Chain A
Amino acid sequence: MSIDLFGSLPLVVIWLALGVIGVVIQAFVKENGTKLVFGYYVGTLVVTALLAMLTYSHHGTTFNGMITLGGTASVFDVLFCGAGVMTLLAAQPYLNRWGNELDEFYTMLVSSVAGMMLMAHARNLVVLFVGIELMSISFYIMAGFFRQRERSVEAALKYFLLGAFATGFLVYGMALLYGATGSLAYESIASVVLSGTARYPALLALGSILLTVGLSFKIAAFPFHQWAPDVYEGSPTVVTAFMSTAGKAAAFSAFISIFVVLMPMMQGVPLNGTLQLAIAVISAVTMLIGNITAVAQTNVKRMLAYSSVAHAGYMLMGIVAGPQYGHSAIIFYAAVYMFMQLGAFVVVGLLEREDEASLTLNDYAGLHKKHPVLAGIMAIFMFSLAGIPPFAGFFGKYMLFYAAVQGGFTWLTIVAVASSVISVWFYLGLIVKMYFNDPVGETHEAGSGLAGISLAVCTVAVVVLGLLPRLLTSVVGGW
């Protein structure tokens, strides 16, 4: 077995940093331990991201073809690490404010990043499974990190139970695929699918459906989205920020590589495009349900949670459209979505008060008078989420629409357009609250601390990627 050490550096570094050195630091450093762990993990993620950039053009597979290197996997690595760093920076003041700054949080966060990276690099169903579980279990813990808060615990439990359920689907699907094709490696499965020589075509179909169901849980697509609002609302805000962006991107990285494998099935034998149509319908319903339900919300966190369901629907358009444009559009959108959604949640986190107060829409009334900068930034994120140019969210949507129209799914694009209009109702609603209504209640301090860095990065990225999308489209491939 030959190992491509250079290519696998990002993975190796983060695993070593996490599993060997990180544990040692936590075990032996007592004085200022939390600060050290925090700095150490920020450094780890930055180094990993840099290594991922370095290995971007280093293509190939390693570990007996179980891991793929370079290309989109590297792009995803950078994305996960970037989200990780921004969440760490936002989490430090957030946790500190609630007296919950424990170094375990940082460890869990980095371990979930490690899991995500594994998902993006996986070329074998077992590796994918390990990645998904590592990510999910870290998420369960992080969701319940405010263990004094009932809602946080409730979120963790709910997430865990439903997540375990989804895992069941995933494993079942993988097992059936193995039964049908005799292999767990993507390449072998792909060649079987392509040649139509599966031993049990029915198992192949059932396996891919179950796998799709399992992954749909992870991206919170209809009808498996029910957990998302409760979990996103109950979890500590920084965790929600991270789960709903990086977590979703990771699930999509798996979705993409799985569907490259299963794609031939969508274009002919043996399911005759049914799977593609099914995903298109799921995509359409997901965005409609997400946006329509979000309209009715009065809690900002819950509103953003439902809207994140809708965004998963938009991204599914890319899966429907296929590899050439669709998949790169998803990567672009996932990256842009990370900036705007994470940024929005960081703002929510900064404005949050004791006992989860200050989370309703009414608490945002007149925000531009109390916190002009935060309100301005939030407005940019909202416009971007709504897909209004010149912000990056618009170009992300444009790419997805482009891919869908190109793939012959104009009707899906029209549904997406309709649901975008619905979404404007609540995105603009928040802006209306912040700018057009008079402030109620007293002004609280909202010192940003390190979170300010995350916010600045997100804002700049949303604006710059909107004006110069080329910066990112050139690396996602296909464009």
Chain B
Amino acid sequence: MGVTALLCTLFAPLAGAAAIALIQRDQVKAIKATAMTIAVLAFGVSIFLVPFFSAADAGIQFYVNVPWIPSIDAGFRIGIDGMSLLLVLLTTFMGPIALLASWGPITKSVKEYYMLMLLLQFGMTGVFIALDTFLFYVFWELILIPMVFIIGIWGGKERIYASVKFFLYTLVGSLLMLIAILWLGFAAEAQGMGFTADLLKLRIVAPMIPANVQVWLFLAFALSFCIKVPLFPFHTWLPDAHVQAPTAGSVILAAVLLKMGTYGLIRFNLELFPQTSAMLAVPICILAVIGIIYGALVAMVQTDIKKLVAYSSVSHLGFVVLGIFSLTTEGVQGAVIQMVNHGISTGALFLCVGVLYERRHTREISEYGGVTNVMPKFAVLFAIAMFSSVGLPGLNGFVGEFLTLLGAFRSPFLHDWTFAIIGATGVIFAAVYLLWMFQRVMFGTNDNPENKHLRDVTKMEKWQLVPLVVMMIWIGVAPRMFMNYSEQSVRRIVGQVELFMFSK
């Protein structure tokens, strides 16, 4: 059952894209309905994964292994552990919301748009469940194509620059990763297992690669993932891509695409190269902390709301990376839940920016003020999303940030409280830039005549925002329900790192 659900979750969007291809171009309603049905269906099916998933099992569940290219031992190998489960659910959950966000704004080339969105979801789901380096790479690159078109065709003024930059940045990293993937395969061959792309086999092989080679392989993978995260100083593509992408594109980009990077860091870097991870934890955490502070400071001075949210991502993802490379159970668990949190809260923030933009066609903070007076319901939803992003206790953001900082604090690999202390100031900065932005946009006097008669959130927008707000509160109040699923898998991964470091 679980396997069927997993396969359906993966392939439903692909089937949907194919179905839309057959619909006539002018049947806009039918196209939208099909896309929405498929996205909801995929979410529904992915929910079925939960009851069949055994949270007590740290290993891979629902494993599928179909030979694909025997000569390089690449196979269609998929399966999930607790961490992938949460991220798959995040992907399918954000899918319908992103489609709803496109309902009004997307008016040109509707057919292509919805096909690409579904294709994107197919690729993202694939990344989170692939257990074969070759398959993973194919999914990883597959995402570039729809995303570059979504930014490039439906994006803002500087869309071409942003889309090309996005494509090139990602490609630079991923091609080096391809060489590392090849190297890993040959390492398996050298140890008598034959060339392979099977991640489960490579997990056994990789830690035994000599340390000087491991460092290079680690760096090749890490570069690719850190560009995607994006970790300072590889973040410059992100503000461009975020600001230029249409609202739904930004939502998907922030909520799911960035998580592919952090997921990759755990799945590949931590699992395959435990010694090197421990060795390089300090420099990476330094970058993460710089990212936290730098992202926050830059966010503070933005005059464009969307850009502000984009830079806040750089800061928030810094916490995730800090948590991961604290190499403690708390830290990595915090990172995993923070990935989900960031997806939900930043996704919601982008939707809120989209709501404002739809009405005024500007994102300049100075254009707004006192919007609460005319949009009271929107103000509530926006405020909750904002507080969730700030990390207010009781909402989801707090849980993740707290755990990552705790992890950094207790980490036996960082030996230093400074990371946690400087990182924690990022939370304060987040409060500063987000609250300040909120104050300038929503409070004060509504003296811009164009803002006098803004419509409050429509039904359609409520459908997008309310589920997200519900999730923020749910995770904030009962994080264990979610973290239970990933706990054993994270313990296994961290245990392996500790084993390799401290068993000598």
Contact = CB atoms under 8 A, between A and B. Distances in A.
A232 interface: no
Interface residues of A, number: 29
Interface string A372-393: 0000000000010000111000
B172 interface: yes
A379 to B, nearest CB: 9
A183 interface: no
Contacts of A414: 176, 179
A98 interface: no
Contacts of B471: none
B419 interface: no
Interface in B156-178: 159-160, 163-164, 167-168, 171-172, 175-176, 178
A421 B179 contact: no
A428 B144 CA distance: 11
Contacts of A435: 149, 152-153
Contacts of A402: 72, 182, 185
A436 B112 CA distance: 13
Interface stretch (A73-81, A272-280, A285-293, A405-413): A405-413
Contact of A390 (B142, B179, B182, B186): B142
B168 A421 contact: yes
A398 B152 CA distance: 28
Given A390-B138, A428-B164, A470 B179 contact: no
A384 to B, nearest CB: 11
Contacts of B186: 405-406
A410 B168 contact: no
A429 B182 CA distance: 29
A478 B164 CA distance: 38
Contact of A424 (B152, B160, B171): B171
A417 B176 contact: yes
Interface in B179-208: 179, 182-183, 185-186
Contacts of B167: 424, 428
B140 to A, nearest CB: 9
A420 B170 CA distance: 13
B317 to A, nearest CB: 24
Contact of B144 (A388, A398, A401): A388
A473 interface: yes
Nearest to A401: B182
Interface string A413-441: 11001001100110011001001110000
B175 A417 contact: yes
B168 A425 contact: yes
A434 to B, nearest CB: 10
Given A390-B138, A435-B149, A435-B153, A405 B179 contact: yes
Interface string A303-341: 000000000000000000000000000000000000000
Contacts of A436: 152-153, 159-160, 163
Given A421-B175, A428-B164, A405 B183 contact: yes
Interface in A158-214: none
A401 B178 CA distance: 9
B interface residue count range (under 10 / 10 to 19 / 20 to 34 / 35 or more): 20 to 34
A420 B183 CA distance: 19
A469 interface: yes
Interface of chain B, main secondary structure:
helix
A425 B163 CA distance: 12
A479 B70 CA distance: 9
Interface in B111-152: 134, 137-138, 141-142, 144-145, 148-149, 152
A280 to B, nearest CB: 16
B22 interface: no
B172 A389 contact: no
B57 to A, nearest CB: 32
B69 interface: yes
Contact of B179 (A389, A413, A473): A413
B179 A410 contact: yes
Given A390-B142, A428-B167, A473-B69, A401 B179 contact: yes
Contact of B168 (A383, A394, A395, A424): A424
B27 interface: no
Nearest to A478: B71
B168 A388 contact: no
Contacts of A473: 69, 71
Contacts of A405: 179, 182-183, 186
Contacts of B142: 389-390
A372 to B, nearest CB: 9
A230 B144 CA distance: 34
B153 A470 contact: no
B160 A432 contact: yes
Contacts of B178: 398, 401, 417
Contact of A420 (B144, B145, B153, B175): B175
B210 to A, nearest CB: 15
A301 B179 CA distance: 31
A309 B149 CA distance: 28
A252 to B, nearest CB: 21
Contacts of A417: 175-176, 178-179
A168 to B, nearest CB: 40
A335 to B, nearest CB: 16
A425 B172 CA distance: 12
Contacts of B160: 432, 436-437
B164 A432 contact: yes
Contacts of B179: 401, 405, 410, 413-414, 417
A437 B148 CA distance: 14
A64 B138 CA distance: 48
A402 B179 CA distance: 8
A405 B217 CA distance: 13
A110 to B, nearest CB: 34
Contacts of A437: 160
Interface string A430-460: 0010011100000000000000000000000
A428 B149 CA distance: 11
A432 B149 CA distance: 9
Nearest to A403: B182
Given A388-B144, A432-B164, A470 B138 contact: no
24 contacts: A388-B141, A388-B144, A388-B145, A389-B137, A389-B141, A390-B142, A395-B69, A398-B134, A398-B178, A402-B72, A405-B183, A414-B176, A414-B179, A417-B178, A417-B179, A420-B171, A421-B168, A421-B172, A424-B171, A425-B164, A428-B167, A436-B153, A436-B159, A436-B163
User: Which 4 A/B pairs are nearest by Cβ-Cβ distance?
Assistant: A479-B71, A417-B175, A389-B138, A436-B152
Given A421-B168, A428-B148, 17 more contacts: A383-B145, A388-B144, A390-B138, A390-B142, A398-B134, A401-B178, A401-B179, A401-B182, A405-B183, A405-B186, A406-B186, A424-B171, A432-B152, A470-B68, A470-B69, A479-B71, A479-B72
Interface of A: 383, 388-390, 394-395, 398, 401-402, 405-406, 410, 413-414, 417, 420-421, 424-425, 428-429, 432, 435-437, 469-470, 473, 479
